[in-house]
Amino acid sequence: MGALDIAARRLSVTVTGEGRAAGAWAAPRRGPRRGPRTGVAELGRPRSHAVRHWVVPPNLEGDIELVAISEDQFSERMPRLKAGYAEHLRATGMSAERAAEKSEEVHARLLPDGQPRHQDRLLTVLVGGVPGGLLWLGPLDDEPGVWWVWQIEVDETLRGRGVGRAAMKEAAEVVRAGGGHSLGLDVFGDNLAARRLYDSLGFRTTKLQMRLAF
Ligand SMILES: CC(C)(COP(=O)(O)OP(=O)(O)OC[C@H]1O[C@@H](n2cnc3c(N)ncnc32)[C@H](O)[C@@H]1OP(=O)(O)O)[C@@H](O)C(=O)NCCC(=O)NCCS
């Protein structure tokens, strides 16, 4: 293994050693664990060394702002949220038909008359002033002071760059400003990214649902 050089959001790693091993390593099959990335391989000739470059995108945590959702954003995002929720239900073993029905039922409860409940905050996450996600939260009816995250979504191209974390930190401020003292949420077991995010923010698991398929 040779030099590791991190400069100005560009990551280059040089591997020296056996030609084939270095060449195989540098083939741009995988980049960093997640987030937008570009991998470019340079192979030495003969292949006695190899260099792989990645463009490392900037963290956007400092560039976010929450604003009330516009009608356009609402109509654009809602069908996708419903479909995404149904997809997670499917992953639990539910039939496609039932998952779609259940997603409709859940959203109908959260959106009486097709609009958010007056006590909820349905917010657009602006990233550098441009819509890049959604955060939806509100107080529980039966537990005073407890708020719930009904949904958080970061646009796919912006994921892995700190937007979700920043939005969740802002969510805590929204709750405090609304007189709440704690924030809860549901997360599907297969949603590793979301679970890691919540774990890293200090959320603790209060309930688990399990299922065995035959
Ligand atoms: C979950 C979601 C909101 C996270 O937003 P994000 O902007 O990508 O997250 P961040 O970049 O702020 O990452 C924060 C932490 O989340 C975890 N995380 C994010 N993406 C991850 C991934 N692909 N794999 C594993 N952990 C991940 C990490 O702990 C990360 O912290 P780290 O970068 O210090 O390791 C985003 O993936 C998303 O919109 N998913 C689809 C909708 C969804 O599932 N919403 C949650 C419903 S409960």
Nearest CA to ligand 1 atom 22: 193
Ligand 1 center–CA 165 separation, angstroms: 7
Give me 184's structure tokens.
């809860």
Query: What is the pLDDT at residue 32?
Result: 47
Pick the more confident residue, 35 or 73: 73
Give me 163's structure tokens.
């937007």
DSSP string, 83-98: HHHHHHHHHTT--HHH
The answer to whether residue 165 scores a pLDDT higher than 80 is yes
Q: Indicate whether residue 127 lines ligand 1 (CB < 6 A).
A: no
Q: Is the peptide bond before 46 cis (omega within 30 degrees of 0)?
A: yes
Ordered by where they begin, the domains of the chain are 3-56 (no CATH), 61-200 (3.40.630.30)
- Give the residue from 193, 165, 194, 157 showing the smallest Cα distance to 57: 157
- Give the residue from 63, 99, 62, 85 showing the smallest Cα distance to 136: 85
How confident is the model over 86-103, as pLDDT tens digits? Answer: 999 999 999 999 999 999
Which numbered atom of ligand 1 lies nearest the CA of 197? Answer: 16
Q: Indicate whether residue 197 lines ligand 1 (CB < 6 A).
A: yes
The answer to whether residue 213 scores a pLDDT higher than 60 is yes
d(CA 57, CA 72): 28
Nearest CA to ligand 1 atom 10: 162
Q: Is the pTM of this model over 0.85?
A: no
Q: Indicate whether residue 167 lines ligand 1 (CB < 6 A).
A: no
Q: Indicate whether residue 192 lines ligand 1 (CB < 6 A).
A: yes
Nearest CA to ligand 1 atom 15: 197
Backbone region of residue 23 per phi and psi (left: phi > 0; alpha: psi in -120 to 50; beta: other values) = alpha
Give me 75's structure tokens.
């109509």
Over residues 166-178, the mean pLDDT reads: 97
Q: How many CB atoms lie within 10 A of CB 196?
A: 10
Q: Tell me the percentage of the chain whose pLDDT exceeds 70.
A: 77
Pick the more confident residue, 42 or 142: 142
Over residues 155-173, the mean pLDDT reads: 97
Residue with tokens 């997360």: 187
Ligand 1 center–CA 47 separation, angstroms: 37
How confident is the model over 52-89, as pLDDT tens digits? Answer: 777 778 899 999 999 999 999 999 999 999 999 999 99
SS3 assignment, position 71: helix
Q: Which amino acid is at 197?
A: L
With beta carbons less than 8 A apart as the criterion, state whether 164 and 154 touch: yes
Q: Indicate whether residue 34 lines ligand 1 (CB < 6 A).
A: yes
With beta carbons less than 8 A apart as the criterion, state whether 125 and 163 touch: yes
* All residues at 6 or more sequence positions from 43 whose CB lies less than 8 Å from its CB, including other chains: 22, 23, 26, 50
Query: What is the pLDDT at residue 51?
Result: 74
Judge residue 90's burial from the number of C-beta atoms within 10 Å of its C-beta, 0-12 exposed, 13-18 middle, 19 or more buried.
middle
Which numbered atom of ligand 1 lies nearest the CA of 154? Answer: 39
The answer to whether residue 5 scores a pLDDT higher than 70 is no
